[in-house]
Amino acid sequence: MPEAHDSAEPIRSDDLIDLLSRKVIGQPSAIEVIIPSIQLHRSGLAPESRPVGVFLLLGPTGTGKTRTVEALAEVLHGSSHKVLRIDCGEFQSDHEIAKLIGAPPGYIGHGDSKPRLTQGHLAEVKSPDCDLSLVLFDEIEKAAPAMTQLLLGILDRATLRLGDGTEVDFAQTLIFLTSNLGARGMMDAIKPSMGFTPAGSRTPGELSTQLDQIAIQAVRKHFSPEFVNRIDHVVTYRPLDAESVAAILDQHIFELERHVHTRLGARSFDLDVSAGARAFLIERGTSPEYGARELRRMVHRHLTQPLAALVADDAVHPGAVVHVDVAESGDALSLRPEGGAARPERRIEKVLVVDDNEAILRWTERALRSHRYEAVTASSVRDAGRAMASTRPDAAVLDYVLPDGDGVALAMEILGDHPDMVVVLMSGMELDEEDELVCRHLDIPILTKPFLVDELVVLLESREAAVPRARWRTA
Ligand SMILES: Nc1ncnc2c1ncn2[C@@H]1O[C@H](COP(=O)(O)OP(=O)(O)OP(=O)(O)O)[C@@H](O)[C@H]1O
Ligand SMILES: [Mg+2]
């Protein structure tokens, strides 16, 4: 018997429902049928000889079928990627099915086709918190008939025999099949063409029943009865209503805000998206044909990108609120930053980088430029002298070991002439005692190679807060 879920504190079922319904909006029937199978698994009472649950998810495009499986992975395993996903569109001919199970030894293609459905792959999508693997066969109606045969074995006995004879055990899995079967009929039902009953004359309940019937009929027509009998639940997704669409947009905006907060840290700001701007995004990002599929792209195009441009231009002060509204033209959003504290003016503009390693030089140069510093490079003490004379940088980043001298001696020379310069040493080795003492004395920070761009930038930024340079002379 499979072991019950053994994490220290598994998420309670109520919380699971709550978490999932916040991620998958307006599809309660999907959540209702999925949760009991997770309880079954946790109880340890799931039968060993078949998958824990088999679900066929049907319904119009962009209503959350695939999102449901991703959201479940987020809740159970902490990442939407913890799903073994098979895009059935890739397996439209029977011989392509070999890509799933690997060709038997001796056959052409053995060795160069790595099976996609192995025990190892199933294990990869588990997590320390949960030992249930989620397997998604997306758009199954697109796959060749051999796929149905293969699935029959998995659904019935929870085993799959690979090309090389090994058996894969699917007992600890939830299997999701999604399909657009009946989608055309559903579309006609949702948005009848001229002369048919207008959608408005039915209640949402009547439409739901009608969609269920269309879905079941399409499934029975397409799959054999023995296949249909092995499916535990057929769920028909509903067209999203206005309230659900608004909630999905809220999610996207919330995600964007969270991204801003985590990426910009102390420099971050808030968003205030007006009702008009929300309506603008919903109008362009949702439709009966594509559900909420385009919403994310519209948010990206009309909100994320213009916001990124503002940030890159330094037009948003830390702590500001960016008000988002519909532009006067009516075909774009306007972003208006308000408040926040201006960043202190930059004291460091030009940075000299001295290293005889060409690759590091180029990398550092690019990194600095991407943070809008001007970079000047030199590959020896002699070159550095010339660069100092001709360009007069505000900061210098010096390699410890140089072909014609060393970084510490160079730093002392530079600071002797320009005590207000910021000097940073980079080194791939420990400094000798005397050099270390000099650096400490002159307050020269040491960057240990390899370092991240951010480490260098943070160092430079921290030194921007003007250090009284006078003490350098007395040091
Ligand atoms: N019910 C929903 N809850 C939350 N987000 C949703 C929902 N429906 C759609 N979305 C949004 O739209 C995107 C597309 O949805 P999803 O991929 O789940 O569509 P689908 O139903 O699988 O459609 P298809 O039949 O075309 O594969 C999601 O990534 C999500 O951003
Ligand atoms: Mg999908």
**pLDDT tens column, 290-308:** 899 999 999 999 999 999 9
Which bound ligand lies closest to the C-alpha atom of 295? 1
DSSP state of 175: E
pLDDT at 69 over 90: yes
Residue identifier of the C-alpha nearest atom 25 of ligand 1: 61
Q: Domain 243-338 adopts which CATH fold? A: Helicase, Ruva Protein; domain 3 (1.10.8)
**DSSP state letters, 333-398:** EEEEEE--PPPPPPS--EEEEE-S-HHHHHHHHHHHHHTT-EEEEESSHHHHHHHHHHH--SEEEE
CA 429 to chain centre: 37
**13-239 CATH:** 3.40.50.300
Residues with a CB atom less than 6 Å from ligand 1: 24-27, 61-67, 178, 180, 248, 291-293, 296
**pLDDT tens column, 111-159:** 566 788 999 999 999 998 899 999 999 999 899 988 988 999 999 999 9
* Choice between 166 and 9, residue whose per-residue pLDDT is larger: 166
Give the sheet arrangement for strand 173-179, strand by strand.
84-87, 133-138, 173-179, 53-58, 233-236
The mean pLDDT of the chain is: 87
The two tokens of residue 75 are: 């809740």
Matching CATH number, 350-474, of 3.40.50.2300, 3.40.50.10710, 3.10.450.50, 3.40.50.12780: 3.40.50.2300
Instruction: Check the CA dihedral 202-206-208-214 and report its sign.
Output: negative
Pair type for strands 422-427 and 405-406: unpaired
> What pLDDT shows up at residue 152?
93
How many Å apart are CA 294 and CA 286, to the nearest integer? Answer: 6
**pLDDT tens column, 229-245:** 999 999 999 889 899 99
**pLDDT tens column, 408-458:** 999 999 999 998 899 999 998 889 999 999 999 998 999 888 877 777 887
How many Å apart are CA 208 and CA 274, to the nearest integer? Answer: 33
Could you tell which of 63, 88, 141 is best to mutate to test the pocket of ligand 1, judged by most ligand atoms within 8 Å of the CB? 63
**pLDDT tens column, 368-377:** 888 888 899 9
Q: Comparing 13-239 with 350-474, is the CATH topology the same?
A: yes
Q: Where are the domains of the chain?
A: 13-239, 243-338, 350-474
How many Å apart are CA 71 and CA 78, to the nearest integer? Answer: 9
DSSP state of 64: S
Phi-psi region of 195 (alpha: psi -120 to 50; beta: other; left: phi over 0): left
pTM: 0.71
